[in-house]
Structure 1
């Protein structure tokens, strides 16, 4: 690689540790070139194929799935077939050794590889993997994270193209307690999302049956609240507020570190749900971006999202000002949730309370000194 080219950094939970080499990144690039029909430089393609072929012996299930699809696109059916069999056995055994997001993405790459090779030969396996991916489908239409959702939808589109619906005429019958209804799916409604709501107090026995011909995906979504989310040990975090004397302005400080053996997370998100009546100082948030403490932020209706390139083993702290805009009685605590963007199950949540800016029983001085702080990281 020429010295004047900045190679950048690859953040992907399936490509870490000893396998953080050029091979997985080469597979990503090779897939992009081949899907875009950018194959004019035959030698470049040949070198890329050689690179990824020699790096799959001890690779993870995810990297093998990625490589299988790349080799299939490149026309190396023999090498692709070996990896397809290996990945299929790993995923269907129930012990792929991957996070939920990477399991979905690996299964999607496997499905794409099988369909690119021979849809007819892999029809039974393709249906198994399609069902596996469907088990991770959430109630909002996606899967686990943004990236695996994109690849999963691509694989579903390829499956639909390989096995196009013909003469679909299905009646889905649903019974839940004393409630029952039917959903009709035919050629006119094949691409229409049909939703019905189940009423009644749980627990309910829900029975789904079908008649007719065709293939459809039926998802039963049960939404509920929990007092505390299950926490991951991947992160350590502390949250505290620093009160400005006799002012409606305080500072919220969040310190975090990554504790897993792979030493650094993917892109991480701090989701800050402020207490009712409080808002974040936009100028201060922009300052955090300018100083490259965070990559970007979003502020929406009292919830602030802070995006960090990664979180490592050494503690990193982010501080920003919050302002009390309205007096609210019996205010509930705010929360900070830290999670890995590509492995959302790696998450940790902590609550915080902002102290009353005026200490009870003490009076504010009649004069005040205004201090202008230029360093957005220290208060």
Structure 2
């Protein structure tokens, strides 16, 4: 094997041990970090340089599936790298040497079918082509025919709600009132259950029905060192009013399909993974998806730990039991350093006495 390929294999196994590649995971609810997306993009670029297009195909499909409806990814940096990798993969493939046709059929109801045909390949291989489907579409069927070796990247994007030009705009903060409260219940030393209750009060006649029924987003910005304890699928199962839940970068996003005109409570368990001497507090934010300027924030409630007593030390940590038997840990490194400093000071003084 050429040195370049050997070095890449060694580096690949070091960065992503066998079985840990996120694009090989079978679970559909695995959360992908910006760092993992960037590593995947570099890996795909290396596959292209080495001519391993077969190995890169699954990675290309995985990266494409993570694109949002605007064509981006988690952050600006990984978006740039992934788009570059996807573009170069398309250019390196045989798409330019063949022709194919893609047919899109939509079923909007009995007797309301429509069909669109797109010419892909040759000089049109890198051309972005779009077809607008009816808002009443119930089923979409996509078929492809043509020369072998052609790749067609097809995405179906569904918009839940779109503000029309005729809709009345919110022109002042007084047009909408959002109420938000949070409570917390500690379940263990590191895990607590946070409940966020939201309600949107929209005065009659101030906004159109379209705006009143628009999607809302409730986001929990967790304190530093804390992350979601459960997977997005588990959190969503406990919050039936949501149509999507996302967790990444210490945040939990709840997507509500319509305005919470009656009190709507959202729950999620969070876990403290890192301890800080001074922890950055968290907060909750709620806003209409199409009017993010009209938002409401409140400090995130944190359930306090019970007062601990009778500590027992082991190595550099101390364990204390509260009245209910729950264990708590605190670092004693600074205490030991203080004690050692006191002894050293007394020795120095005795030498010069």
Establish whether TM, by shorter chain, passes 0.5.
no
TM-score (ref. length: structure 1): 0.40
